[in-house]
Chain A
Amino acid sequence: MIVQTALLIGVVLFSVLAIALRDVLRSAISLAVASLLLGIVFFKMNAPYAGVFEISVVAGLITVLFILTIALTRAGDEVRESRLVNWVFPLVFVAFVAVDALVMKSLLGKVPALAAGAEAGTFGEVLWKGRTFDLVGQIAVILAGVFAVLALFRKREKHD
C-alpha cells in the first residue's frame, strides 16, 4: 500500500507540475512521467491491459503528439499567463485537498452500488462479449479522429 501511495503522490505531483510549469515542453514531459507512474499503479491494481495502454498510448503516443505540436508552434509560446493564477492555484488546490481528505471517506460510504454478480472469464471474453458495442464505438471514434485531422490539414485550393 505504501508503494501505491508513493506512486499516486508522484502522479499528482507531476500532473500539477505539468499544469504549473511555464515551459510547455517541460509540461509535456511531466505529463508523460505522470502517465508512466499511473500505468504502474494500474499494474499494481491487477489491470495489466489498462496499464499497457496507459504507458504505450498516453505516455508514448500523446507525448509525441504534444512535442510535435510544440515544435510546430515554437515561436508562439510567449503567452503571458495571469499573475493572479500563480498564487491562487496552489492555495485553492491545497484547500481542495484538505477538504477532500476530510469529506471523501464519509461520502464514499453513501455511494449506492448496484448489485452485480461476480465476474467470470478472462479479459478477452469480457471485452469481446460484454463490451462489443464499445468496440464498435471505438472504431467509429478513431475514424472520426482520422477524418477530422485529414479535414484540418487538407491542402487549400488555389482560388482560396
Chain B
Amino acid sequence: MTNAWYLYVFFAAALVCAGLLGLLGKRNLIKLLIAIEVIGKGVSLLLLSTGFAKGHILTAQALVITFIVVEVSLVATALALIINVYRHTKSLDVRNLAKLKG
C-alpha cells in the first residue's frame, strides 16, 4: 500500500509544482487561473490517495467533493472578475493591474 501511496503523492507533488511554476511565470489572467486549477487537482489527488492508503476512502471522498464545490465557486467568481477586468483594461495582461492610476 505504501508503494501505491508513494506513487500518488509523487504525482500530486509534480502537479502542485507545475501549477506554482505557471502562477509564477505566466502573465495571462486565464492562464493564471488554469495554474490554480492544476494546483487544485494535485491537492484533490493527495487527499484521496491518502484516504485510500490509510483506509478512510469515504471521508476522503466527502472532503474531495467539498473541495470541488468550493473550486467551482472560486472559478465562477474569478472568471467574472477577469471579464470585468477585460472590460476595463481591454487586456488580459496581469501587469496592467499593477498600475494604480484610474
Is the pairing of A and B real? yes
Binding site for B on A (CB under 8 A): 1, 4-5, 8-9, 11-12, 15-16, 18-19, 24, 27-28, 31, 34-35, 38, 41-42, 45-47, 49-50, 53-54, 57-58, 61-62, 65-66, 68-70, 72-73, 75-77, 79-82, 84-85, 88-89, 92-93, 96-97, 100-101, 104-105, 108, 113, 116, 118-119, 121-123, 126-127, 130-131, 134, 137-138, 141-142, 144-145, 148-149, 152-153
Residue in A11, A31, A38, A144 whose beta carbon sits within 8 Å of that of B73 in the complex: A144
Q: Which residues of A contact B31 (CB under 8 A)?
A: 19, 24, 27
Is B18 within 8 A of A12, CB to CB? yes
B88 to chain A, nearest CB (A): 11
Q: How far is it, in angstroms, between the C-alpha of A97 and the C-alpha of B55 when the chains are bound?
A: 27
B residues 59-74 in Cβ contact with A at 8 Å: 59-66, 68-74
B28 to chain A, nearest CB (A): 4
Q: How far is it, in angstroms, between the C-alpha of A82 and the C-alpha of B31 when the chains are bound?
A: 13
Is B83 within 8 A of A69, CB to CB? yes
Binding site for A on B (CB under 8 A): 2, 4-11, 13-15, 17-19, 21-22, 25-28, 30-31, 33-35, 37-38, 41, 44-45, 48-49, 51-52, 54-66, 68-77, 79-84, 86, 90-93
